[in-house]
């Protein structure tokens, strides 16, 4: 009987212990399931958060790409505008250069026009001296300048040394203009020389209508002197050159010394007494004078017309 009671107690103990184990296991199982669910929820949250971040990063990346495309387009547009501006600037510079060239050419004196205007006024002057002990001749140039005559008629300017030989005036001279067969005789009484400058006045007796017309025309002396660098034209009858027509040589004013303009233009002794024309104003600047005897060429010396009274 006691043995049966003991077994019964043990059996109930086992049953109770089994219920306890089952209850504990159920609690552990419930906790495990809850933990697993929590882990799953956490994983889902993390994944969802990462997905959102990735989505946001994609949006940001797309925005940056779009912005870069816009910036690139803007840069290309600016580059195109800059290239267009450079091309336009070069074209404008080229047009300005051409306009400046055209303006300079339009303002440059036409030397052919100058020579044509002054040619009828420049004459060849030939003189001779007849004396018991010697004979001499000279040849030079002279130019008709309005207002030169001391008699109120027509007169020419020339160098004193063309009509003065050792302090003596020539016995006779004659003047001939280009494209004319008329020789105008000149006597001693028709010549007056300066005591100050290398200049002389030769009066024309009975001038033709052509000379009277030239004497009344607008061409004449310069009212403003020349400057260094100004272009000049020298007209005359050099001993080497045309004998029937004038010879024109060009040069520039290189200086001024003792009443003379210095010029790079070529001057040969037959040019003495001719005309030096200031190209920019088309006016009579002075008398070209050959001074270096025995040389074909020399630095031109032009007697300033302001000193010729």
Enter the CATH code of domain 113-307. Answer: 2.40.10.120
pLDDT of residue 105: 52
Helix, strand, or coil (residue 274): coil
pLDDT of residue 62: 76
Which residue do the tokens 């006016």 mark? 283
pLDDT of residue 48: 67
Sign of CA dihedral 150, 151, 153, 155: negative
pLDDT of residue 12: 73
d(CA 252, CA 280): 11
pLDDT of residue 296: 44
pLDDT of residue 2: 65
Those residues of the chain that have pLDDT short of 70 are 1-4, 7-9, 15, 17-19, 21, 23-26, 28-29, 31-32, 34-36, 38-39, 41-51, 61, 92, 95-108, 240-243, 291-299
pLDDT of residue 282: 95
Residues 168-184 pLDDT 10s: 999 999 999 997 888 99
pLDDT of residue 80: 82
Please report, for the chain, the start and end positions of each structural domain, with discontinuous segments joined by +: 1-33, 113-307
196, 191, 152: which is closest to 175 by C-alpha?
191
pLDDT of residue 121: 94
Q: Evaluate if pTM is beyond 0.85.
A: no
């Amino acid at each position: 009987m006691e043995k049966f009671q003991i077994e019964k107690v043990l059996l109930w103990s086992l049953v109770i212990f089994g219920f306890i184990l089952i209850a504990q296991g159920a609690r552990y199982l419930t906790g495990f399931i809850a933990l697993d669910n929590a882990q799953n929820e956490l994983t889902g949250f993390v994944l969802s958060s990462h997905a959102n971040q990735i989505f946001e990063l994609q949006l940001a990346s797309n925005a940056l790409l779009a912005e870069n495309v816009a910036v690139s387009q803007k840069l290309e547009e600016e580059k195109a505008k800059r290239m267009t501006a450079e091309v336009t600037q070069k074209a404008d510079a080229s047009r300005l250069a051409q306009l400046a060239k055209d303006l300079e050419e339009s303002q440059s004196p036409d030397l052919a026009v100058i020579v044509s205007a002054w040619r009828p006024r420049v004459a060849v002057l030939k003189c001779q001296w007849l004396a018991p002990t010697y004979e001499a001749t000279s040849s030079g140039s002279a130019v008709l300048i309005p207002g030169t005559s001391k008699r109120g008629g027509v007169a020419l300017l020339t160098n004193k040394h063309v009509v003065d030989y050792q302090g003596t005036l020539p016995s006779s001279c004659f003047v001939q203009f280009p494209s004319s067969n008329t020789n105008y005789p000149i006597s001693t009484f028709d010549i007056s020389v300066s005591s100050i400058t290398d200049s002389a006045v030769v009066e024309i007796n009975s001038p033709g209508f052509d000379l009277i017309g030239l004497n009344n025309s607008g061409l004449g002396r310069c009212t403003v002197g020349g400057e260094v660098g100004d272009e000049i034209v020298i007209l005359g009858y050099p001993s080497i050159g045309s004998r029937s027509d004038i010879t024109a040589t060009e040069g520039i004013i290189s200086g001024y010394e003792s009443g003379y303009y210095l010029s790079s233009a070529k001057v040969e002794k037959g040019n003495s007494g001719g005309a030096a024309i200031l190209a920019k104003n088309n006016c009579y600047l002075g008398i070209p004078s050959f001074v270096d005897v025995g040389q074909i060429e020399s630095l031109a010396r032009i007697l300033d017309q302001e000193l010729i009274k």
